[in-house]
Amino acid sequence: MSEYMDRYNRWLAFEGLDKALRRELEEIKNDDNAIRSRFARELSFGTAGLRDQMGAGCGRMNIYTVRQATQGLAKWIADIGGGDRGVAIAYDSRNFSAEFALESARVLCANGIKTYLFDALRPTPELSFAVRHLGCVSGIVITASHNPKEYNGYKVYGEDGGQLPPDAANVVAEAIKSIDIFDGVKLMDAAEAEKQGLLTYIGEDVDAPYLDKVYEQSIDREVISRVADDFSIVYTPIHGSGNKLVRRILERCGMKNVIVVKEQEEPDGDFPTVETPNPENREVFTRAIELAKENGSDLIIGTDPDSDRVGIVVRDIEGNYVTLTGNQTGVLLSEYILSMRRKMGLMPENPVLIKTVVTTEMLRPVAKAYDVELMEVLTGFKFIGEKIKSFEQTGEKNYVFGFEESYGYLSGTYVRDKDAVVASMLITEMAAHFKEKGMTLYEAMQALYAKYGTFREGVKNFYYYGIEGPSRIASMIERLRTQAPDNFAGVKVNAVRDYSTGVIKYADGSEGKTNQPLNNMVYYELGNEERGGWVAVRPSGTEPKIKFYFGYSDPDKATAQARLEEIMTAVVEMAGAE
């Protein structure tokens, strides 16, 4: 009998198996593919923890895989002697998020580890804050961010408030592998844990200081109040955890007219009004746009389920509501923050902006204009968090702002992850600033193109489900890595960065180094500084998909867009994606 069938039968034989999970397993007893998809592999604990579809089996998110992961974490905490410092736990609006959070707490408490559990759903960035605020050794947040409703996840944070670093994550991963998923896990009743002082529920006592730190990032604290009577925004939490705190911080800043999308206000893990709760997709704003039209609103803001990403919709010159990309919003925020800090004398010494490798190159001329250093890191906000930590340790540089193209932004160092609460506040403040000047954010973006040149970006995602999906994705990346052409759509390839080896190969035959941690990504440098672009390809770390990123700049807007689309087509065709 195969190994996956052995696992399947063991789960069925476990007397204490959750009834709903048992029903699921019994329903698939004659479906080999369904059994294989759940038991052919165990969930992999990476630097971001666990993430997959919910359901029965060692390859799915359920109370047993969550307990096993937490037992592994508890072992690591015991080994480093951090049990007395405790662990903070937060969760979002997804189905079973509250249950997974409670099960995590029960395991930690059974291992004698002090646990702080939020009394209701909270934004992921508040968990990052809570770890440092409470002096914890670690933190857990139950979320799958903006993934489809079938998914959930388990993210682990270190004592610095950033996602667990690779070395520690590897130790935890090995500990998890050594633990029997049923017999190797300790559990304590929650009421008993609370009675013994091991479990403490937290809420407003963390909300208030967190919001104080968010408010500290405001630059012009009067601008919203100055336009408040004639300034209106529509906000949607997209059934997630941002609703209360986003609205509280906007009210604190002087906002009077915040219209909430009622159909998307309440937490709901089924996300009934959207296909996926992702603010990158315009369709999530359908009802918000209707409300904005009815009320003549200036701005629409939407935060994802765990409120670490934010998307916006603005009015163009004709008054139509158009979405801005994560890159455009990030560039606008960078320009606003730098210009206002310089104007108000708030720019620190040795200031630094940080972007990820796949984020717009438009940030380079912005940073240059304000004499601010620009740093580039790998994809994932944890790498920005690592830089913030390093700056605080050395004191040589000061972090000002950082963002990634996938709608994640952070101003300040009070957390070590992207934060849609502070981003919502600063976007609103920025919109009020331009409203006072008689401009929309769309017009402000056009002004930046006139100032710095036209930059266009694009992303294409291809999903490959099933057992063969990972190998197909791997073969595409390998083809792009080993069979690099000398041009894409007539645009010269100047260099190929292979982040899996850390080597850059230039068109003239010379080589250099990426000076980044090793990562499964290929990056092409195209054209020249005035008319050129780039392409990056990597597998998703959380979904069965391959991601293609593109950028191109040209003094002429139409040319920039046309060349970008030609390059996108050429790269996808070469990779064999469909």
Angle CA(136)–CA(142)–CA(147) in degrees, nearest 5? 140
pLDDT for position 76: 97
- What are residue 527's DSSP bridge partners? 532
Residues 78, 72: Cα–Cα separation, whole Å: 10
Mapping DSSP onto H, E and C, the string for 315-338 reads ECCCCCEEECCHHHHHHHHHHHHH
- Catalytic one of 93, 128, 138, 145: 145
Residues of the chain with CATH 3.30.310.50: 454-575
Query: Quick one: 287 exposed, middle or buried, by C-beta within 10 A (0-12, 13-18, 19+)?
Result: middle
Residues 253, 234: Cα–Cα separation, whole Å: 16
Across the chain, which has 578 residues, the per-10-residue mean pLDDT values are: 91 95 96 93 86 96 98 97 95 98 98 98 98 98 94 96 90 96 97 98 98 98 96 98 98 97 98 96 97 97 98 96 98 98 96 97 97 96 94 96 97 97 98 97 97 94 84 91 90 94 94 94 87 91 86 91 94 89
String of DSSP letters for 123-192? -HHHHHHHHHHTT-SEEEEE--TTS-TTEEEEEEE-TTSSBPPHHHHHHHHHHHHTS-TTTS-----HHH
Which sign, positive or negative, has the C-alpha torsion 126, 129, 135, 140? positive
Active site residue 145: yes
pLDDT for position 470: 86
Residues of the chain with CATH 3.40.120.10: 63-202, 211-452
Cα 506 vs. chain centroid, distance in angstroms?
A: 32
CATH superfamily of 63-202: Alpha-D-Glucose-1,6-Bisphosphate, subunit A, domain 3 (3.40.120.10)
Residues 6+ away with beta carbon under 8 Å from 91: 97, 98, 100, 101, 118, 121, 122, 141, 142, 143
Residues 160, 131: Cα–Cα separation, whole Å: 7
Q: What is the CATH number of domain 211-452?
A: 3.40.120.10
Residues 6+ away with beta carbon under 8 Å from 366: 331, 334, 335, 338, 353, 448, 452
pLDDT for position 529: 65
Return the structure tokens found at 411: 């101003």
Residues 491, 126: Cα–Cα separation, whole Å: 45
Stretch (H or E) spanning 198: none
Nearest to 541 by CA among 181, 242, 169: 169
According to CATH, the topology of domain 454-575 is: TATA-Binding Protein (3.30.310)
Residues 6+ away with beta carbon under 8 Å from 64: 18, 58, 181, 182, 185
